[in-house]
Amino acid sequence: MDLYEHQGKELFAKAGIPVAAGHVAYSVDEARAAAEQLGGVVVVKSQVLTGGRGKAGGVKVVKDPAAAAEAAEAILGLDINGHITRRLYIEAGVKIAKEYYFSVTFDRSAKMPLLMLTTMGGMDVEDVAENHPDALARLHVDPALGYRGFHGAQLMSKAGIPVEERKALAPLLATLYSVFEREEAMLVEVNPLVLLEDGTFLAADAKVTIDDNALFRHADVEAMRDLAAADPQEQAAREHDLAYVKLDGDVGILGNGAGLVMSTVDVIAQAGGRPANFCDVGGGASAEKISTALGIVLSDEKVNSVLFNIFGGITRCDEVAKGLLGALETTEIRAPIVVRLDGTNAEEGRALLAEAARPEITVEKTMLEAAATAVRLAKEAS
């Protein structure tokens, strides 16, 4: 789960990491009021779950409440990489001496948290990594050790942080790591991490991603979820514990297991078609879940045919058949459905479908044949 800047900073502040004072605003009036309350120079920032908002005009430094209102007017509704700005963060201005970059990433490859620190902050870290690789200090933290003072010392030395700044920076790095660990984050990124003119450090931005699987232990974070920002179908899928992704073709895909679903996307494309979306029902789905998933796949109006690709392990194919037939009984199905069942109880499942003899359903034996048929039917319908 990705957090908005202001939500990340809420976690930072709770951990004792210095951040500027700020208020969330959903309207021009709220933005003006926030600027009035903060006084002096403020920064009006778009809150979107994507990067590059600076370049897109989503951040403005202004001198007074009137200017803040003007900036809010410009930024609210702004489209940043496909994300519409619906909320702002109005933050007190600070006097910046230097801009650094610091992050803790969950490095799957090394299976360790990865610390990155550079004095070249404020810019795109991918650029630093590519164009100034020596300026980007990297260090893995062995989880069996956890973060120790020596990690900070080593990282700051590698990044070339001036010796006289290290004493002030070290506890901040340690605390940011503790946020990563305690909140079970996949990413904690501060860019820029600023050195103020008074010699102290402050987190001027916050990109925090929390592990979805750990949210049961973090009710406060779960409560931060912005339901309005999610795609309604994806939201419905999440509520039913289904993985749903919207694409832009016309063949709906329903399968069990991420790998098989991905493979199905591939064979649809190889058969000359284009997937409209896909829905992974996971392992051991019940008939009800299959019904729900079909409903979500079909709610996308672009879908001209649906491919059911199921290889049963803990998922039982007879349950899948029951779910499909149940859905046909309760709802109007407006697109033809191609079904391929294999694995656990596949024969029983196919028998149920044969018995029902529904005209909307075509049963195919192999994945490639099923893909070809689904693509053909979609083309016929368009």
Partner 1 sequence: MAVIATKDTRLVVQGITGREGTFHALRNRDYGTNVVAGVTPGRAGQDVEGIPVFDSVADAVDKQGANTSLVIVPPRFAAEAILEAADAGVEQIICITEGIPAHDMLEVYHYIRPRGIRLLGPNCPGALSPGIANIGIIPAEVFKPGPIGLVSRSGTLTYQIGGELAAKGLGNSTIIGIGGDPVIGTSFIDALDLFQADDQTEYIVMVGEIGGNEEEKAAEVIAERITKPVVSYIAGFEAPPGKTMGHAGAIISGSAGTAAAKKEALEAKGVPVGTNPTEAAQIVADLVAKG
Q: Annotated catalytic sites, by residue?
A: 101, 189
Cβ neighbours around 132 below 10 Å, total: 13
154: contact with partner 1 by CB under 8 A: yes
- Nearest-approach distance from CB 222 to partner 1, in angstroms: 13
Torsion angle of C-alpha atoms 242, 246, 249, 252, degrees rounded to 10: 20
167-174 contacts, C-beta under 8 A, 24 or more apart: 168/199, 168/200, 168/201, 169/201, 172/17, 172/18, 172/201, 172/203, 173/102, 173/115, 173/117, 174/147, 174/149
Q: How far, in Å, CA of 59 to CA of 44, rounded?
A: 6
Beta-bridged to residue 255, according to DSSP, are 280, 309
Query: Site for partner 1 (CB under 8 A): how many residues?
Result: 60
Q: Kindly identify the residues of this chain, within the stretch 179-218, that bind partner 1 according to CB under 8 A.
A: 181, 184, 186, 211-214, 216-217
Q: How far, in Å, CA of 326 to CA of 323, rounded?
A: 5
- Nearest-approach distance from CB 269 to partner 1, in angstroms: 4
Which residue, 166 or 358, has its beta carbon nearer to partner 1? 166
- Nearest-approach distance from CB 332 to partner 1, in angstroms: 28
Q: Which of 261, 294, 306, 378 binds partner 1 (CB under 8 A)?
A: 261
52: contact with partner 1 by CB under 8 A: no
- Nearest-approach distance from CB 3 to partner 1, in angstroms: 16
163: contact with partner 1 by CB under 8 A: yes
Q: Which of 8, 65, 121, 255 binds partner 1 (CB under 8 A)?
A: 255
Question: Which residues neighbour 305 within 8 Å (Cβ) at sequence distance 6 or greater?
Answer: 250, 251, 252, 335, 336, 337, 338, 374, 375, 377, 378, 381
Q: How far, in Å, CA of 203 to CA of 206, rounded?
A: 7
Binding characters for partner 1, 320-359, by CB under 8 A (x = yes): ----------------------xxx---------------
The footprint of partner 1 (CB under 8 A) covers 106, 108-109, 111-113, 142-145, 148-150, 153-154, 157, 163, 166, 181, 184, 186, 211-214, 216-217, 243, 245, 247, 255-263, 265-270, 275, 280, 282-284, 311-314, 342-344, 366-368
